[in-house]
Amino acid sequence: MSKELAKTYDPHGIEDRLYEKWIAKKYFHAEVDRSKKPFTIVMPPPNITGQLHMGHALDNTMQDILIRFKRMQGYNALWQPGTDHASIATEVKIIEKLKEEGIDKHDLGREKFLERAWEWKKEYGGRITSQLRKLGSSCDWDRERFTMDEGCNKAVTEVFCKMHEKGWIYKGSRIVNWCPVCNTSISDAEVVYEEQAGHFWHIKYPLIDENGAPSTTEFLEFATTRPETMLGDTAVAVNPEDERYTSLIGRKVLLPLMNREIPIVADSYVDMEFGTGVVKITPAHDPNDFEVGKRHNLPEINILNDDATINENGGKFAGMDRYEARAAIVKELDEMGLLVGIEDYSHNVGTHDRCKTTVEPLIKKQWFVKMDELIKPAVEGVKNGDIRLIPERMDKTYYNWTDNIRDWCISRQLWWGHRIPAYYCDECGEIVVAKEAPSVCPKCGCTHLTQDPDTLDTWFSSALWPFSTLGWPDKTEDLDYFYPTDVLVTGYDIIFFWVIRMIFSGYEQMGEKPFSTVLFHGLVRDSQGRKMSKSLGNGIDPLEIIDQYGADALRLTLITGNAPGNDMRFYYERVEASRNFANKVWNASRFIMMNMDGKTIPQDADRHLQPVDKWILSKLNNVVKEVTDNMENFELGIAVQKVYDFIWDEFCDWYIEMVKPRLYDTDDADSQGAALWTLKNVLLNALKLLHPFMPFVTEEIFCTLQDEEESIMISKWPEYRADWNYAAQEKDIEIIKEAVRGIRNVRSNMNVPPSKKAHVYVVSDKEDITRAFTEGKLFFASLAYASQVTVQVDRTGIADDAVSVVIAGATCYIPFAELVDIAQEIERLEKEEKKLQGELARVNGMLSNEKFLSKAPESKIAEEKEKLEKYTQMMAQVKERLGALKK
């Protein structure tokens, strides 16, 4: 061979070069090919504001493993990449940049703001995709999409208009998550719940007596964490089964401060066991209260402005900030004798993940998607097995979301995003939803129409991702061939925000599922098990890991031990172990190539296979079968562990060591040729099994080792071969391995250095065992540090003092005198005996000294007693050994 590997493995020297080669050769690109079966994955589109983090690295490593595996299996594999416009995240970044320049968003105006947004996208939008390339992601970059590109825009408008026409998109007033700083509704995905120290304010409302006056003796008591919302209370509720309050249902209480009478309603939503069993109902400021309000036809009174100050519905508190009003309300209630008490209480408070402001649930007129009918096919799809969730326990989480789904608020008070295709007549107020701006109002004929200023929730466009990226709403060949896609890989934390929405959108728009399988992974946590975050300062930058250890080492670390749906901890020690594995593979490959150099492996070399060659081929065959099964079942962590163990243990630590004597034996060309043929074939197949996990190091070795194929990426995935099933040879070699391990343990316990060779006798009356050891004498001698190997049926000629190693069906004996220089060992043991006598004298002296025993701490006395026990045991062992040697 003329080509050779560098002396040391340096990922920096190969990874960028190989990635550029793959791109240039268009190995990642997929075109419709009806002669092949398609396999499609759509990449969860990262935000254009994004920086590659460990979650991205894990998510994309898993997708890359699957797509490389399927590509090698002969599928027409498409991994569809793209990025998300991320409405709020991007708008926040641009506003921050404008602030630095002293520019206000509203002074700039919508049109100019959007120009700046597109400039920002152009400058920063490709950052995360370039980082994904560093990871080795083999997605089809020729097909890269963006959620606001022309095609995706068209799909979004099409869906909005279609669903509005069906009555499934409507404008109405419902509870939304409102950010008072960003002045927009936000999705549940953007609400982060943080534990905050707060209070329960225990308050009582006076009952209205039979004369229509507030009672001075009868009250209903409850507790709340948001006293300011009482300004919008329109009822109090009790459970209809609660005997304490049955007689009060239908009566009224006085709402203090507002002097408004509100009814007592019965609703099973109220938990009788919690607190007093009474709940204040504020339909405009709590999603559960909103539903109660609908059931009882209660008024909805919004008491907040968009900036979270109290509005005119708050009476004398109008104009106050929400927290300022809270303090004033509590003070007045106390003065009125209606504040029962204040209890410290820690609870989860929703905050906006972008600006960290506490979110207000409040009633707003927004655009919503009606979910009751839309969700049904998505539920049925998982129930009937049309879509499989992995791990299976995610089914429960999925149904929990679908069973409790509410109408989806899709409008956002932002400028960056898909503009809502709704137009309002300036004259009569008619709303026209249309793909193109109408020139005339269909109701009054007015030609002045204004488009809705709001944009759509980012998740609205990403819900269409599996089909919009393939050309929908046009009937493209790509869509016909690649849809439905095969696997979605994603974190378990966005099952509702994205996964469910893609599923119901697929069924609704395409008439079938968007994918067959959803593979959920967990979070990557730090070594202490904490979630990585900026505030904790424990985030680990995958790009720094790649820079230090290489992408292959990072990928192997992320997937080793990975189980679907489970969180994993990230340790630097594991990355080092992964890099060490890459070095092991590299060095073993170099050794094989050096021994192949200048030699021609005969075409019929496999005719001269020895038992040990058949053993490793059979082991490889089993691994191929098992790993392929694991990969098909998405058990990626189990698969990579099997490949790792095979390469490191069976191939490098055993087989290569077993064949070394044959490689150096120039007298037996057939045996040497068979060894080289086996080494090359097993290495090539092992590299193919490893390739999806560690693409760079495997490609470099593969292309240096052979010339028949131009890249491991497009080579054929190994398949189980019936002619490589050598069960008998597997059994034989495993027995020899057991003997080697036993002999090495004995030598280690006796401190015998590897350089000291000794005669090994193998005694067995079983013909298959004696044959196995006879055939394997050459490598057994080498591995067992034997000067000579004798295989016999009984103990004839073996010294009585020989050390024995018992294995299944045989015993190995090694003459003691050949392992140990007896005179030298006696001298060493006598020195050890003398030293122990001194230690025992000292310890016994201390423990018989009354002064020491009365003054020394208990721990010191216990320590000396432990030493006495240890030295006594050691002395007994030394005396026993000396006695045996002197015989």
- Contact in structure between 424 and 447 (CB atoms under 8 Å): no
- Contact in structure between 401 and 496 (CB atoms under 8 Å): yes
Instruction: Compute how many other C-beta atoms are within 10 angstroms of the C-beta atom of residue 505.
Output: 24
Distance CA 841, CA 37 (A): 82
Residue 486: partners with Cβ closer than 8 Å, 6 or more residues away: 39, 40, 41, 515, 516, 517
- State the helix-helix crossing angle for 656-663 and 669-690, rounded to 10 degrees: 150
Judging by beta carbons within 10 Å of its beta carbon (0-12, 13-18, 19+), is residue 249 exposed, middle or buried? Answer: middle
Taking the CA atoms of residue 419, residue 425, residue 431 and residue 435 in that order, the dihedral angle to the nearest 10 degrees is -50
Instruction: Compute how many other C-beta atoms are within 10 angstroms of the C-beta atom of residue 783.
Output: 20
For 100, 455, 483, 506, 670, the CA distances from 511, given in Å and listed in that order, are: 49, 27, 11, 7, 63
Annotated binding-site residue? 534? yes
Instruction: Compute how many other C-beta atoms are within 10 angstroms of the C-beta atom of residue 822.
Output: 12
Candidates 608, 622, 590; CA nearest to 718 is 622
Residue 729, token pair as written in the block: 């040879």
SS3 content of the chain, % helix, strand, coil (to 5): 50, 20, 35
Residue 472, token pair as written in the block: 């929908």
What are the φ/ψ torsions at residue 212 (nearest 5 degrees)? 85, 15
Distance CA 126, CA 412 (A): 25
Contacts made by residues 339-345, CB under 8 angstroms, sequence distance 24+: 339/201, 339/202, 339/203, 340/202, 340/203, 340/204, 340/221, 341/202, 342/199, 342/200, 342/201, 342/202, 343/199, 343/200, 343/202, 343/223, 344/197, 344/199, 345/197, 345/198, 345/199, 345/200, 345/225
Distance CA 813, CA 522 (A): 52
Rg (CA), the chain: 38
Residue 372, token pair as written in the block: 């009751």
Residue 53: partners with Cβ closer than 8 Å, 6 or more residues away: 532, 539, 541, 542
CB environment 85-103: b (16+ within 10 A), e (fewer): bbbbbbbbbbbeebeeeee
Can you say which residues are annotated as belonging to the binding site? 534
Annotated binding site for ATP: 534
